[in-house]
């Protein structure tokens, strides 16, 4: 049996093209770094040649019933720690946090994610004309009834071109709460009374019959403020929440100020972030 040279060349070219496409697809995501209860990998977004800000993502997958933490964990837990120091041609990598969920159990309330989450990453190369060899080490915790530490590592080259993971990466960026000016948001926070733990009342606009969660962070990571709880008395079209001004760093008087507080509001499928001054 003989083979036509032109048919052979066509088949060979098709095989090479298929292999190249498979390799390109594989480069859109790193292999999974597996822990006993979770897995981590890096994703590449679609990035243009010479782009000064590249898009990537850290995907975390958890076993059913387990959750991990937001940048502020709440009553207990630890936030994830992302380390990109081993990367090549990397000026900076800024990890962003999608809107979190509130978890309640017998141990208290925590803030984080269930099932899976993609943390979007803004990657700035040293030389935009060259690929970035992104190398990640991440320490985090996963919790069911008990919390256990976990770690992962991943490597991925960010080069110009399309990515099969671009839609996933873009969705992760879209899930990050957008910063809104305090005046435009309509959110206000006021200290009520005094004492060792003054009460802070929050008033904000919110549509009826939509679940609303709100989280508060202090001006530095040393602050560990309680999770605000829903309060009664709000007029139609608004919601009230309150929390005690507790968990301040040593030496900070809760009755003085002003303090810059950041509120993250999750309102159904919408999420936004407001920084306001507590006088």
Domain boundaries in the chain?
30-175, 179-278
Kindly tell me if the per-residue pLDDT of 240 is higher than 90: yes
Strand order in the sheet with 90-95: 33-34, 38-44, 54-62, 116-125, 90-95
CATH number for the region 179-278 comes to 2.60.40.2440
DSSP E strands: which ranges in the chain? 33-34, 38-44, 54-62, 67-74, 81-83, 90-95, 101-105, 108-114, 116-125, 132-143, 147-158, 178-179, 188-192, 199-205, 212-217, 229-231, 238-244, 259-267, 270-278
- pLDDT at residue 22 tops 90: no
What is the average per-residue pLDDT within 97-114? 89
Alpha helices in the chain (DSSP H): 5-26, 166-174, 182-185
Prediction pTM value: 0.87
Q: Which residue has the tokens 């008087």?
A: 253
> In which band, very low, low, confident or very high, does the pLDDT at 12 lie, cut at 50, 70 and 90?
very low
The answer for 128, left when phi > 0, alpha when psi is -120 to 50, beta otherwise, is alpha
In CATH terms, are 30-175 and 179-278 the same topology? yes
- 206 pLDDT band, cuts 50/70/90, is very high
The rounded distance, in Å, linking the Cα atoms of 216 and 238 is 18
Q: Is 80 exceeded by the pLDDT of residue 9?
A: no
Place 168 in a pLDDT band, splitting at 50, 70 and 90.
very high
Query: Per-residue pLDDT for 24 more than 70?
Result: no
The residue-averaged pLDDT of 69-86 equals 94
Per-residue pLDDT band at 249 (split at 50, 70, 90) = very high
Is the pLDDT assigned to residue 20 strictly greater than 70? Answer: no
Residue 21 pLDDT greater than 70, yes or no: no
CATH architecture, domain 30-175? Sandwich (2.60)
Pairing of strands 90-95, 38-44: unpaired
Average pLDDT, the chain: 89
What's the whole-number mean pLDDT along residues 208-219?
94
- Determine the pLDDT at residue 145: 81
Least confident of 105-119, 159-173, 262-276: 105-119
Task: Average the pLDDT over 112-116 and give the result.
Answer: 95
């Amino acid at each position: 049996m003989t083979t036509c040279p032109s048919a052979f060349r066509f088949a060979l070219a098709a095989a090479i093209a298929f292999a190249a496409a498979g390799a390109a697809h594989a480069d859109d995501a790193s292999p999974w770094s597996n822990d006993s209860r979770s897995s981590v990998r890096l994703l590449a977004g679609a990035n243009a040649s010479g782009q000064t800000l590249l898009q990537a993502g850290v995907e975390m997958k958890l076993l059913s019933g387990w959750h991990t933490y937001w940048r502020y964990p709440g009553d207990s837990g630890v936030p994830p720690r992302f380390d990109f120091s081993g990367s090549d041609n990397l000026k900076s990598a800024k990890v962003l946090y999608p809107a979190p969920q509130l978890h309640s159990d017998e141990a208290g309330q925590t803030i984080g994610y269930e099932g899976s989450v993609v943390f979007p990453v803004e990657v700035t190369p040293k030389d935009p004309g060259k690929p970035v060899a992104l190398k990640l080490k991440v320490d985090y915790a996963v919790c069911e009834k008990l919390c256990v530490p976990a770690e992962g590592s991943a490597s991925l080259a960010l080069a110009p071109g399309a990515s099969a993971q671009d839609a996933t990466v873009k969705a992760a960026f879209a899930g990050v709460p957008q910063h809104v000016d305090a005046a435009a948001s309509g959110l206000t926070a006021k200290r009520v009374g005094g004492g060792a733990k003054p009460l802070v009342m929050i008033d904000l606009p919110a549509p009826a019959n939509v679940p609303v969660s709100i989280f508060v962070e202090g001006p530095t990571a040393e602050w560990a403020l309680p999770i605000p709880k829903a309060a009664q008395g709000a007029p139609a079209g608004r919601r009230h929440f309150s929390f005690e001004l507790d968990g301040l760093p040593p030496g900070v008087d809760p009755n003085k100020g002003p303090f810059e507080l950041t509120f993250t509001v999750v309102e159904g499928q919408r999420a936004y972030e407001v920084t306001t001054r507590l006088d």
